Structure 1
Amino acid sequence: MAQRHAGQVIVDALARHGVPRVYSVPGESFLAVLDGLYESAIETIVCRQEGGAGYMAEAHGKLTGEPGVALVTRGPGAANAMVAVHAAWQDATPMVLFVGLIPTAHRQREAFQAFDIRAWFGTQAKRVFVLDCAERAGAIVAEAFHAARAGRPGPVVVGLPEDVVSAAVAVDDHPVLPVAEGGVSAADRACIRDALAGAERPLLFIGGPRWTATAAAAVTAFAERYDIPVVHDWRASDRIPFDSPVNVGWLGYGRGDHAARLLADADVLLSIGALPTDVPSDGYTLRQSMQATHIAVHIDPELRGRSGALTHHVLAAPTALVEALAGLDPSPAVDRTEWRADARAAQAAFAELPALSRLPETAVGTVHMTRVVAEVVARLPADAIHCFGAGNHCFWAQRYLPTRVFPSQLSLRNGSMGYSVPAAVAASLECPERTIVAIAGDGEFSMNGQELATAVQHGAAMLVVVMDNRQFATIRAHQEARFPGRISGTRLHNPDFAALGRAYGGHGETVTADDQAAPAVERALAVVQRERRPAVVHVHTDQRFDAP
């Protein structure tokens, strides 16, 4: 049996797991892995900061359902990547983070960049492995990928001591470990059928991990056939098409009041993949009655994050529900057209872009963000992918950008900033045939905007709309509410973001008046779609209008 260093064994294991690319900031602690990638078909995406690399891996996991992979070095590199691990933990996203470590002989001696990987990541990862035996390299990768994908998905961290990963071994390749999808029993089917058939005001609440395009289409067809309204979890609005007659919006920050009323008034709630956690329940205030009927189809046996009553738990991923729905007939005994139609009408009004002629006048040198978003929406193909992170600017993306296919929305539910550009890079690399749009605030863009250099280097193309209101607007809004007139620590002095986009090798546009919006968006999208380069549209906005 031929010998390979453990780094090569790891790369060969990644290839067996179908990994198309890894996102990395290089470090001397894992040179053997970089050497293994030298002749590999796996593409190495060289990122500018470990937080950006981690976000790209998280976005890949969310987009594909398969673990995204990031490679970072010890100490500072691991610290920078922690933000993405936290995001993957809270969003239940499959991700594997490889972290180079000091040589084993240097442990417990306060060596350069030493840290306790289990102590750092133990509360925010599903598993933390340390490769202390080179012969176990392939097995550790297989176990890491299985843990990241199984049950409620999430991040897994693998520590790679410098000396162990460089050691030569002669081992067989470890096979990929299968992941169970759960199942829907006859009793589960009967429970769902009887509850929905007898309901006057049924509601589906959907989101979470383990979805596929097939599962999303099946749930859409089922809800439309039986006139059951569907409300999405926060930042997970792409399971039911934007224009479907049963799509009645989403819960969480910025939601319409009608969505909260639906959750409160439904006599039967069927959750699929999602749970009424903190944000969708308005801080554990909506639907908390212990007498409410709630059936949850969820792959996590622990139902972490659940609030309120639970009538029945179906231990299954959304993908396992598809076959059960095909033969399920919960024909209602009552007419539910009005229940669904009223809900849909409220959502349609909420999601409709306002008449541009009626927008309030903004200060000289600024434009209303709604006008720019309207120009973007008018030019997007049906399968566009939208990326956004955290901040008031996200309300425009969540409310108005249409999600007509799954997957088409990449965002975070942990309120982490700096995600939009890295997510767009990952989406463009994975889906080069689709148009990618990132909506960013000035503060959000400034955290990882340097990954535009990564996009240019590796051929990723996306439209990045930067809403510049010269402040951390979300925090300022809280500040104004609690300490009126005492603005402290939330103002920003910003660069010329359009010039910055050009400096990185992309295209840049500046919008400071209403009549500039349409031609700027038109030119920027042409560069993205025809030249395969990123384009930045720098939108100067009026601080008085920080939300739609």
Structure 2
Amino acid sequence: MTKNKSVIKSGGSLLVDCLSANQAKHIFIVPGESFLGALDAFLDRKDEIKIVNARHEAGASNMAEAYGKLTGEPGLAYVTRGPGACHASVGVHIAFQDSTPMILMVGDVSRNVRDREAFQEVDFKSFFGPISKWVAKINDPDRVPEYMNRAFSLATSGRPGPVVLVTPEDMLTQITKAKAPSFSPIIKSEMSSIGFNAVTEKLEKSKKPLFIIGGSGWTNESISSFHKFINENNIPVTTSFRRQDLFDHKDENFVGSFGTSVSPKLISSVASSDLIIVLGARLGEMTTQGYSIISPLDKSKNMIHIHVDPNELNKVYNAEVCINVGMEECCKRLKDLRIENSRSWQEWRSQLRRNYLEDIKSLKSRNFNNLSRIFEIVEKKLPDNSIVTLDAGNNAAWPQRFLSYGRYRRQIATTCGSMGYAIPAAVSSSLLSPEKTVLCCVGDGGFMMSSQEISTAVHYGTKIIILLINNSSYGTIRMHQERDYPGRKIATDLKNPDFVKLCKAMGAIAYRVNGLAEFSSIFSRALKSKKVNVIEIPISINQLSHRHNLK
């Protein structure tokens, strides 16, 4: 009898076995009746795979996406059909644009009622197809291992991204004798001699080289190898939008990051450079400020583009040299490369570094709760070994500009500008690394889109600090209104609740600060706390962005 139980099992039990075989440790869910067969099977693996109950499917998918960013392994989420899947689609979209490995499993209507517009029925292939690497429905429980292994492989290979697996309710309870093997990771090719020689030759002829690094697929080893190569050769390094933790900001070769409201001097450095080496980044719209910093139409710019996915090469930019190789394989080859004329780049690098250091100095301002000064305090007090999660909007510009990052201090943020991301990402980060301080930076607009996940944070005993920047406005949209339609404000003012009372009601410690001295004291107190702390920082709408005041 015992022997048969170990062989004959349900499709849901086999699915959970497959997750276990692929080293799953966490899964983020909002439970639904459409996948009860899988939920029941998780009970038998509760000491091995931790289930995290989110309060909203968007929160669950965002937690899974952040988990994928932090680990490089697929973040896992499971939600119910129809509304649940629609809510979770935001995390899938983020994972797609951010190249994050992720697997979303969706409970579905039973197979015998498909195509009748059954309760909460959705055509998931049409719905998720444009924002995922693969969408598949598992109709046969015997094929669960095949689909699961393909999902893990696809999510992590090439340009990483999200996979969606649809599990009909009745398939999860159907009996199967299939077993649960793990997928075999793909052995990647080394950087070719042709590509390596092309990089070497271009660098040897360059007088002002500049690296732009970004994308996903980086490991501690590849980052260490890249640092060694850069430090040997005095080459200035920048990062693409919200990939600031790929290079140590305290390293003398780091000269800034691209994205929103970039330093004008950093933009001019691109024009001055005679060789742009793009490593891992796609050079998307945000990094290039609408493809203006580097124009796809400008064929005069000398460029090398290195990317793990051949489909990203010659997609927008026709670089003179295109190299298809992974970050680890590329950096391993570059690590010991020494360019003979690299000393001649020191002056060029030093000037860009001076520009960067000048740009991150706190700003003199009469604004109440001057955010540049507040983040100067945060920078001094925040432990190096911490994780910072950022939301969308202008509120994120201050921690992007005035905090330092690197592999020692991770930055977890979305490049697709999805509001409501930072709090779920902080919950996931703290669950994964409970020994670290997790700092969440969010505006009042984004806060109200996912504040319910504070209850999740409290439920699981996480230690996170939330800096709630409150200007009672959708500030980014207000900024665009003032730029394009001056004086014609509409639909951007917000009437907010009492955030302190709201957060305390969910079990968090909450404060509202009135000045820099009070913030400094409260932030120190929050750093010592073992609970969820929310610090509301009221600011004037006049403090519209880190480079522009409204008045």
Q: TM-score range by the shorter chain?
A: over 0.9
Worse-matched range after superposition: 154-163 or 382-391: 382-391
Aligned residue identity for 2:355: A
The aligned counterpart of 1:547 is 545
| SS class of match (1:544) | coil
2:35 aligned to which of 25, 30, 34: 30
The yes-or-no answer on 1:204 pairing with 2:211 is yes
The aligned counterpart of 1:360 is 366
2:17 aligned to which of 12, 30, 34: 12
Contact 1:271 1:294 in 2 (8 A): yes
Unaligned 5+ residue runs, structure 1?
Answer: none
The yes-or-no answer on 1:309 pairing with 2:318 is yes
2:127 aligned to which of 120, 126, 131: 120
The aligned counterpart of 2:549 is none
Q: Structure 1 residues 234, 320: closer, same or farther in 2, change over 3 A?
A: same
1:522 aligned to which of 521, 524, 532: 524
Distance, in Å, in 2 between the alignment partners of 1:51 and 1:204 is 35
1:159 aligned to which of 158, 163, 166: 166
Instruction: Note the C-alpha offset of 1:104.
Output: 0.5
Distance, in Å, in 1 between the alignment partners of 2:248 and 2:19 is 34
Q: Structure 1 residues 445, 333: closer, same or farther in 2, change over 3 A?
A: closer
Instruction: Note the C-alpha offset of 1:95.
Output: 0.4
2:303 aligned to which of 284, 294, 297: 294
Length-normalised TM-score, structure 1? 0.95
Contact 1:143 1:177 in 2 (8 A): no
The aligned counterpart of 1:470 is 472
Instruction: Note the C-alpha offset of 1:305.
Output: 8.4
The aligned counterpart of 2:395 is 393
| SS class of match (1:151) | coil
| SS class of match (2:525) | helix
| SS class of match (2:164) | strand
The yes-or-no answer on 1:85 pairing with 2:87 is no
Worse-matched range after superposition: 332-341 or 72-81: 332-341
Instruction: Note the C-alpha offset of 1:333.
Output: 6.6
Instruction: Note the C-alpha offset of 1:404.
Output: 3.1
The aligned counterpart of 1:538 is 536
What are the superposed Cα offsets for residues 61-96 of structure 1, whole Å, 9 maximum, x if unpaired? 111111100000000000001111111111111000
Contact 1:275 1:306 in 2 (8 A): no
Tell me the number of residue pairs that the alignment of Structure 1 and Structure 2 aligns.
537
The yes-or-no answer on 1:273 pairing with 2:280 is yes
Distance, in Å, in 2 between the alignment partners of 1:334 and 1:212 is 28
Aligned residue identity for 1:79: C
Distance, in Å, in 1 between the alignment partners of 2:272 and 2:488 is 40
The yes-or-no answer on 1:331 pairing with 2:348 is no
The aligned counterpart of 1:428 is 430
Aligned residue identity for 1:6: G
Instruction: Note the C-alpha offset of 1:162.
Output: 0.2
Aligned residue identity for 2:15: I
1:460 aligned to which of 459, 462, 466: 462
The aligned counterpart of 2:237 is 230
Q: Structure 1 residues 504, 34: closer, same or farther in 2, change over 3 A?
A: same
Aligned residue identity for 2:254: N
Contact 1:287 1:308 in 2 (8 A): no
2:178 aligned to which of 171, 174, 193: 171
Distance, in Å, in 1 between the alignment partners of 2:223 and 2:486 is 45
Contact 2:388 2:411 in 1 (8 A): yes
1:379 aligned to which of 378, 381, 388: 381
1:21 aligned to which of 26, 37, 41: 26
The structure 1 segments of at least 4 consecutive aligned residues displaced by more than 4 Å after TM superposition are none
Instruction: Note the C-alpha offset of 1:513.
Output: 2.9
Q: Structure 1 residues 56, 333: closer, same or farther in 2, change over 3 A?
A: closer
Distance, in Å, in 1 between the alignment partners of 2:470 and 2:78 is 32
| SS class of match (1:296) | strand
Distance, in Å, in 1 between the alignment partners of 2:191 and 2:516 is 54
| SS class of match (2:356) | helix
Instruction: Note the C-alpha offset of 1:406.
Output: 5.4
Instruction: Note the C-alpha offset of 1:108.
Output: 1.1
The yes-or-no answer on 1:493 pairing with 2:495 is yes
| SS class of match (2:246) | coil
Aligned residue identity for 2:36: L
Contact 1:149 1:179 in 2 (8 A): no
Aligned residue identity for 1:33: A
Contact 2:280 2:327 in 1 (8 A): yes
| SS class of match (1:238) | helix
What are the superposed Cα offsets for residues 378-433 of structure 1, whole Å, 9 maximum, x if unpaired? 21111211101201100011111211325600001111100000000111111111
Distance, in Å, in 2 between the alignment partners of 1:465 and 1:129 is 40
| SS class of match (1:464) | strand
Worse-matched range after superposition: 472-481 or 322-331: 322-331
Distance, in Å, in 1 between the alignment partners of 2:446 and 2:290 is 24
What are the superposed Cα offsets for residues 185-210 of structure 1, whole Å, 9 maximum, x if unpaired? 11111111111122100111101010
Contact 2:106 2:165 in 1 (8 A): yes
1:397-416 matches, within 5 Å, as 397-405=399-407, 408-416=410-418
Worse-matched range after superposition: 487-496 or 70-79: 487-496
Distance, in Å, in 2 between the alignment partners of 1:489 and 1:537 is 26
Distance, in Å, in 2 between the alignment partners of 1:120 and 1:414 is 19
Aligned residue identity for 1:537: I
Contact 1:275 1:305 in 2 (8 A): no
Q: Structure 1 residues 184, 22: closer, same or farther in 2, change over 3 A?
A: same
Instruction: Note the C-alpha offset of 1:16.
Output: 1.5
Distance, in Å, in 2 between the alignment partners of 1:87 and 1:443 is 18
The aligned counterpart of 1:348 is 357
Instruction: Note the C-alpha offset of 1:183.
Output: 2.4
What are the superposed Cα offsets for residues 289-327 of structure 1, whole Å, 9 maximum, x if unpaired? 213221122111111685333122221111112320133
What are the superposed Cα offsets for residues 265-294 of structure 1, whole Å, 9 maximum, x if unpaired? 221121111132222222112233213221
| SS class of match (2:103) | strand
Aligned residue identity for 1:62: K
The aligned counterpart of 1:185 is 192
Distance, in Å, in 2 between the alignment partners of 1:18 and 1:53 is 19
Aligned residue identity for 2:366: P
Distance, in Å, in 2 between the alignment partners of 1:186 and 1:507 is 57
What are the superposed Cα offsets for residues 198-228 of structure 1, whole Å, 9 maximum, x if unpaired? 2100111101010011111211221121010
What percentage of residue pairs aligned between the two structures are identical?
32
Distance, in Å, in 2 between the alignment partners of 1:4 and 1:56 is 30
Distance, in Å, in 2 between the alignment partners of 1:174 and 1:295 is 40
Contact 1:382 1:404 in 2 (8 A): no
Aligned residue identity for 1:360: R
1:444 aligned to which of 422, 443, 446: 446
1:251-262 matches, within 5 Å, as 251-262=258-269
The aligned counterpart of 1:49 is 56
| SS class of match (2:136) | strand
Distance, in Å, in 2 between the alignment partners of 1:200 and 1:422 is 45
Instruction: Note the C-alpha offset of 1:452.
Output: 0.9
Unaligned 5+ residue runs, structure 2?
Answer: 547-551
Worse-matched range after superposition: 122-131 or 480-489: 480-489
Distance, in Å, in 2 between the alignment partners of 1:227 and 1:281 is 24
